[in-house]
Chain A
Amino acid sequence: MLAPAKLDALHNFIETSTKEELLWISGYLAGLATDGTAGVVGSVNESALKQQTITVVYGTETGNSKKVATMAASKLKQHGIKTKLLAAENFKPEQLYKESNLVISVSTQGEGEPPANAKGLYDFLHATQQSLSHLRYSVLALGSRSYPLFCQAGVDIDSQLRRLHATPLLPIAMCDDDFEPVAEAWITALLSTIQPTANTQQETVAQSKKADGKKSFVASLGVNQMLNDRGSNKEVHHLEFDLAEELLYNPGNAVGIVPENTAENVNRILALLKLHPQDRVNYKGETYEAFVLLQKKLSILHLASGVIKKYADFLQTEIPETRMDLYDLLRIYPMQNESQAQALIDILNPISPRLYTISSSPNAHPGQLHLTAALHTFESVGEQRNGFASSFLTQLKPGQQLEMFLHQQKTFQIPRSDRHLVMIAQGTGISPFRSFMAERDAIGATGHNWLFFGEEDFVADFYYQSEIQNWFETGSLHYVNLAFEKNRNQSLQVHELILKEATRLWQWIETGAYIFVSGEKEPMGKEVENALQQIIMEKKGVNSEDAGAFLKQLAKDGRYAKELY
C-alpha cells in the first residue's frame, strides 16, 4: 500500500519511537484519519526517555584489566544493556558528569600506582571537588598479593568516588594473580544489580532526531590527533569538536566547512595590493575589512585558469594558461596602480565549502562531533602541494572555533538498527562507518555488522583499530575483513576480499542486508561495484546487465549506498 521509500521512512520512525510514543501516535493518526483533527493521548513520560547506559572503563598495563572489562562489556551487551567500553586514556574525566553508570576495571603498578593509561582519571578523581552524586559505579581492582599495596590503585579510585558522593553498585572487588574467578563473580553480581532497572528503561530509545537544515553552528576543537603511526605515508587526522549546544544529526550526515586562508599568505598579498588589513573593500555587494575578506571569503590559492585569464585581460598582458596562487600572480604580474585592487577582488571566486562526513555518533559521543580528515596532497605544475581545505583542517589547534553547517546525505543514512549492515571502506572512507558502528554499539542495535577496510600499512594506518577491536570483542561487530598492502600475510585489495567472501555476502544480501561503500571513486568504488556485480551474476545465475539492474534496485531501495569521492 505504501511506496518502499515511504514504508522505510515509516519503519525508521517507528523503530526510533517508544511504546508510549507509538501509543500516542496511533491515537493521533486515528484522529487525523477519521475527522481530520489530531487525537491526543497524553504526553510521553519524560523520565523514561533517559536511557540506561553503562560505561566500562579500563586502566591496564598487562592487558588483564582490559580482558575483564571486555568480558563485562560483552556480557552486559548480551543482556541488552547499552554499554560503552573505553580505555581509560580515551575517557575524558569531564565525562564523569554526564555518565550515570560507570564500571572501572583497573590494575595496580609498582608501589600502588595506577597504570599509565589511567593516570589522568586517577589524578582527576583525587583533585576534583565537584560532586558525583548522580553517578553509580563499581570498581574491580586487579593486583598481586605478593606486593605490599595490594590492589591499591583500585582501592584509591573507589574511595575517591565515595568521597565525591557517587553511589557504589557493588562493593569493590579485588583480584589476585589468578584474577578470573573473582572477575567472573563480579560480572555476575554486576549484571544482577543492573539488570532490573535496565530492563524497565530499555525500550525508551527516543531520538526522533531530525537533522537540522543548513543552519550553521560554531564548534570548538578539543582534540586534533593524527591517527597514522610513525613511518606511514599518510596523514589522517581525527578531530574532536565540542558542541556548544546540542546538534541533532544522524550517522551518515556530513558537515560543510569553509576553510580559511593563512594570515601569513593574506598579509603578504595585502602588502602587494598596498592595502591595509582594516581597509574596507567590497565583494558581491557587501563591504568587508580587507584582511577578513581575503582570509575567510576569497579563493586565493591555485587560482582557476579562468580567473587568471580575466586578470590578464584586465592588465592587458599576456599570461600563459596555467594555475597559480594569487600571491605568485601578483608578484610576477604586478598591478599597475593601487586603485586596481578592488577590480582584482571583483574577479576572484569565493571559497567554496567542503563536505566532511561525520565520524562520531550522537549516542556514543554526546556533545561532540568528530571528523576524520586526510591531508590531501597533489602535484601541480611540477610542485607538491597540500589541499587547501585538508591542510586547514588538519592544522587546526585545540581551542580554535570553527563555523560549520550540517549537511544531510539523504542516500547515505544509517540503516534501521535491526537490519544487517555491510560496510566497505578504503582509507578515510572509514569515517561514516565509525559513526555507524559507534551508534549501533551505543544503542544496542540488533542488526549484524560486517566491515571491510583497506589501507596501506597494518601497523601504521589501521584507523580506529582499538575501537574496532572493542566492537568485535564485545560482539557488536560480527565480521571484519582487512586489506593492508603492507605487513600482512597476504595483500588483497578490498574488492578481492569481497570476492573471497562471496558466499556469505550473498547470504547477507538475501536476508536483506544493507551494503554501504565509502572511499575513493577510482579505483576502489569501481572495483567494489564490479565485484558485487560479479557475485550477483554468479549467485543468481544472471548476465551482467541483470546483475546491474539488481544492484540498481538495491540502491533504489536504499540497500546499496555509496559515498565516493
Chain B
Amino acid sequence: MKPSPVEKIKIESKGLRGTLKESLSNDLTGAVSDADAQVIKFHGMYLQDDRDRRDERAAKKLERLYSFMVRLRLPGGNLTPEQWIATHHIAGEHSTGVIKITTRQTLQLHGIIKSHIKPTLQAFNAAHLDSIATCGDINRNVAASSHPSFSPIHAQVHAYADKISAMLMPKTRAWYDIWLDEEKLAEYSEDDPLYQDRYLPRKFKIGIAIPPNNDVDVLTNDLALIAIIENEKLLGYNIAIGGGLSQTHGNPETYPRLATVIGFTAGEDDTMKAVYEVLTIQRDYGNRSDRKQARLKYTVDKLGVDFFKNEIEKRAGIVLHPAKPFAFTERKDLFGWQQSENGLWHYTVFVENGRVTDDENAATKTALFEIAQGGNCLFRFTSNQNAIIADVAEKHKLQIDSLLEHYGVKSFTENASQIRKHSMACVAFNTCPLALAEAQRYLPSFISKVEPIIAKHGLQQEEIILRMTGCPNGCGRSVAAEIGFIGTAYGKYNMQIGGDRNGERLNQLHKQNIGEEEILIELDKLFGLYKSQRKPAETFGDFAWRMLQSI
C-alpha cells in the first residue's frame, strides 16, 4: 500500500522543521505552504481561516483570512496564577482575546496571524509554557482527572501525567529552533528512538482517570489509564487501548470505539514501560496508507487484543496482570466550592463551551485575571471545558469568593441549568476547516430552546449529558453522550441517544440529518416517554438505550 502524502511530509521534515522558516518569511500570504501546514501541527498549531469571511474576502480579491490556532501542552491541565496572567495578556495582544479551554484540559488561542506566531510562542516560553506536540501524529496533551478533592492521590497522578508527557515528547529541538531562534546545540542529538523520523500514523491521546469519577472520559482515548487505589494508596493502573470517536460520514469502515481494558500494571515504572510500547507497536503496525484507518483503534481491531498484550509484554519486559476491578459512578465536574482532605478549597467555574471571555452572562475573563493577580490559587482545567480555581487556603477563600460574586461568575455557575452545565460542543464554525454544521456558536441558544422542554417534563434536576459536534470527528465527544448531535450539513445533525451517564457505552443513531425544529419535537417526545416510563433512578441514557433495544 502506498503511504499517504502526510507520511512523506513527516519523513522529509528534517526533524519537524519542514520549510517553516521560509513559509514564515513568505510575504505574499498569511498561510504557510501545504506541507508546512502539516508540519506546524506538531508544533501545536493549526492553520485555519475565518470561514464566515471567505466570500467577502474573495470578492475583495483578498486571500482567505488565515490565522493560526495555538494549543498549549498542559499535562493534567494545570497553570500557575503567573501563567494565567501571561496567557491573559498574550490572548489580548495576539489572538481573538478569548481563551478557550479545550475538551482535553488544555488552553488554546485562536486568530493568531502569521506574523504574530513568534511573539506569541516567545511570550508563552517566557511563562514556561510550550505548545510542542499538542496536535499532529504524535502523543498529544495527557489528560488526567481534574478535581483535587477526588482523591488524596490526585497530586501523584498529575505528576505522573507530567512524566508520561515528558517521556513521549519528540526529541527534535525544532520548536525552540524555529519559534525562539535558538542556536543549534552542537552536542545535542535529535535521534528519536520512539518516533524515529516517521512519528505515529495518526494522532494519539492518553487520559488518566481516578475512579469513581470518569470526568476525563478516559475510554475515549487511544490509551486509557485507570488508577487503581486501595486504602488510599495508588497500586498501579488498569490499561485500556483503542478508544477514539472519529468517524467519517458515508464511510462504513470508520467507527467510534471505546478503549478495551487489557490488564493491570503495578507501580509507575511498569506502567510507563507499557505505555511507551503501546506507542511503538502503533508506530510499527498502524496503517500509514489510509489516514481514516490509522488510529490505534483500527490497529487493535486488526491485530487483536491478545497480540497487543503479548507484544507489550515482550517489548517492555513486564507482566500484564489481569485487570483489577474498578467502577465509575459519575462523569462530571463538581461546581462551586469543594474542600479536599488537606483542607484546601477549590471552586469549579462553569465556563460555557470553555470560552473564557467577558460576556452578558459573566465577566469570567476579568474575574479569573483578578483572582490570578491575587496569586493565592492554582488554575486547573477540566475535560468538560470548565476552570477550577484550586488550592485556595481558608484565609483567601472569602476574597476570591467576592471577586467571583462581583463579576457574575458565581451566579452564572450556580444558576445555569443542569442540561447547560453538562453539555459540551466542539469549536466548529467559523475557524474549524472540518465543520459541516455549527456547534460552539450554536449550542448556547439551542440549549435555551431545550430548557423549557426539560422544564415541561419536570426533569430540571437530571444531569443529562448532551454534546454537539460540527462534524463526525468527535472533538466534542458526541457519541459518548446521553444525547449527541453530529453535524451532517449546515443546520442538520444526526441525533444519537443511549450513551450511558458514566462514559462506558456509546450512543446510537436515532434520527438522521434533521434540523432544529425536528430535533426539538423529538426531544419533547423522548423526554415525555422518559418521564412516564423510566425505572427508578434510571438515567436518560439508560432509558433511551433500553428503548432502542426494544424496537
Question: Which of A's residues lie within 8 Å of B, judged by CB?
Answer: 62-63, 67, 87, 89-90, 110-111, 116-117, 146-148, 178, 180, 225-229, 238, 458-460, 462-469, 472, 480-482, 487-489
| Inter-subunit contact A147/B250 (CB<8 Å) | yes
Q: A67-B34, A116-B54, A480-B28 are in contact. Are A464 and B250 (CB under 8 A)?
A: no
A181 to chain B, nearest CB (A): 9
Interface residues of B in 28-62 (CB under 8 A from A): 28-30, 34, 54-62
Partner of A489, one of B55, B115, B251, B436: B115
Partner of A178, one of B5, B58, B113, B433: B5
B37 to chain A, nearest CB (A): 9
**Sample (27) of A-B pairs whose CB atoms are under 8 Å apart:** A62-B433, A110-B489, A111-B489, A116-B54, A116-B55, A117-B54, A146-B248, A146-B254, A178-B5, A225-B60, A227-B60, A229-B56, A229-B60, A229-B62, A459-B65, A460-B62, A463-B61, A465-B28, A465-B62, A466-B62, A468-B28, A472-B28, A480-B28, A488-B27, A488-B115, A489-B25, A489-B115
For B436, what are the chain A residues with a Cβ–Cβ distance below 8 Å?
A: 110
Q: A480-B27, A487-B113 are in contact. Are A466 and B63 (CB under 8 A)?
A: yes
For A488, what are the chain B residues with a Cβ–Cβ distance below 8 Å?
A: 27, 115
For A148, what are the chain B residues with a Cβ–Cβ distance below 8 Å?
A: 250
Q: Determine if B292 is an interface residue (Cβ-Cβ < 8 Å).
A: yes
Closest to A146 in B: B251
A492 to chain B, nearest CB (A): 11
Q: Determine if B98 is an interface residue (Cβ-Cβ < 8 Å).
A: no
Closest to B4 in A: A178
For B334, what are the chain A residues with a Cβ–Cβ distance below 8 Å?
A: none
| Inter-subunit contact B433/A225 (CB<8 Å) | no
| Inter-subunit contact A89/B60 (CB<8 Å) | no
For B315, what are the chain A residues with a Cβ–Cβ distance below 8 Å?
A: none
Q: A146-B248, A148-B250, A487-B115 are in contact. Are A226 and B60 (CB under 8 A)?
A: yes
Give the docked Cα–Cα distance between A397 and B119 (Å). Answer: 44
| Inter-subunit contact B60/A228 (CB<8 Å) | yes
Closest to A238 in B: B61
Q: Determine if B86 is an interface residue (Cβ-Cβ < 8 Å).
A: no
B290 to chain A, nearest CB (A): 9
Give the docked Cα–Cα distance between A117 and B34 (Å). Answer: 20
Top 10 closest A-B pairs, CB basis? A146-B251, A482-B27, A147-B250, A489-B115, A89-B58, A465-B62, A466-B61, A464-B61, A110-B489, A227-B60
User: Residues 8-36 of chain B: 1 if any A CB is under 8 Å from the residue's CB, otherwise 0?
Assistant: 00000000000000001101111000100
| Inter-subunit contact B30/A459 (CB<8 Å) | yes
| Inter-subunit contact B65/A229 (CB<8 Å) | yes
Q: A116-B54, A228-B60, A238-B61 are in contact. List 12 more A-B contacts (CB 8 A).
A: A110-B489, A117-B55, A147-B249, A148-B250, A225-B60, A227-B62, A229-B65, A458-B115, A464-B61, A465-B61, A489-B25, A489-B115
For B2, what are the chain A residues with a Cβ–Cβ distance below 8 Å?
A: 178
| Inter-subunit contact B61/A227 (CB<8 Å) | yes
For B248, what are the chain A residues with a Cβ–Cβ distance below 8 Å?
A: 146
User: Residues 428-442 of chain B: 1 if any A CB is under 8 Å from the residue's CB, otherwise 0?
Assistant: 000001001000000
For B65, what are the chain A residues with a Cβ–Cβ distance below 8 Å?
A: 229, 459
A70 to chain B, nearest CB (A): 11
For A67, what are the chain B residues with a Cβ–Cβ distance below 8 Å?
A: 34
B407 to chain A, nearest CB (A): 29
Give the docked Cα–Cα distance between A481 and B25 (Å). Answer: 11
For B63, what are the chain A residues with a Cβ–Cβ distance below 8 Å?
A: 465-466, 469
Closest to B67 in A: A459
| Inter-subunit contact A146/B489 (CB<8 Å) | no
For B489, what are the chain A residues with a Cβ–Cβ distance below 8 Å?
A: 110-111
Closest to B49 in A: A63
A71 to chain B, nearest CB (A): 12
For A63, what are the chain B residues with a Cβ–Cβ distance below 8 Å?
A: 34
Give the docked Cα–Cα distance between A488 and B29 (Å). Answer: 11
For B115, what are the chain A residues with a Cβ–Cβ distance below 8 Å?
A: 458, 487-489
For B29, what are the chain A residues with a Cβ–Cβ distance below 8 Å?
A: 469
Give the docked Cα–Cα distance between A10 and B61 (Å). Answer: 37
For A480, what are the chain B residues with a Cβ–Cβ distance below 8 Å?
A: 27-28
For A180, what are the chain B residues with a Cβ–Cβ distance below 8 Å?
A: 5
Give the docked Cα–Cα distance between A67 and B58 (Å). Answer: 16
For B58, what are the chain A residues with a Cβ–Cβ distance below 8 Å?
A: 87, 89-90, 117, 466
Give the docked Cα–Cα distance between A455 and B130 (Å). Answer: 34
Interface residues of B in 387-438 (CB under 8 A from A): 433, 436
For A462, what are the chain B residues with a Cβ–Cβ distance below 8 Å?
A: 62
Q: Which of A87, A481, A489 is packed against the most chain B CB atoms within 10 Å? A: A489
Give the docked Cα–Cα distance between A460 and B56 (Å). Answer: 12
Give the docked Cα–Cα distance between A480 and B59 (Å). Answer: 22
A378 to chain B, nearest CB (A): 25
Closest to B113 in A: A487
Give the docked Cα–Cα distance between A73 and B436 (Å). Answer: 31
For B250, what are the chain A residues with a Cβ–Cβ distance below 8 Å?
A: 146-148
Give the docked Cα–Cα distance between A146 and B250 (Å). Answer: 6
A115 to chain B, nearest CB (A): 10
Q: Which of B5, B25, B27, B254 is packed against the most chain A CB atoms within 10 Å? A: B27
For A225, what are the chain B residues with a Cβ–Cβ distance below 8 Å?
A: 59-61
Partner of B28, one of A226, A463, A482: A482
B294 to chain A, nearest CB (A): 13
User: Residues 112-148 of chain B: 1 if any A CB is under 8 Å from the residue's CB, otherwise 0?
Assistant: 0101101000000000000000000000000000000
Give the docked Cα–Cα distance between A388 and B56 (Å). Answer: 28
Interface residues of B in 218-261 (CB under 8 A from A): 248-251, 254
Give the docked Cα–Cα distance between A464 and B58 (Å). Answer: 10
A370 to chain B, nearest CB (A): 11
Give the docked Cα–Cα distance between A343 and B55 (Å). Answer: 54
Closest to B492 in A: A110
| Inter-subunit contact A89/B55 (CB<8 Å) | yes
B56 to chain A, nearest CB (A): 8
Q: Which of A180, A459, A460, A463 is packed against the most chain B CB atoms within 10 Å? A: A459
Give the docked Cα–Cα distance between A226 and B59 (Å). Answer: 9
Give the docked Cα–Cα distance between A262 and B115 (Å). Answer: 44
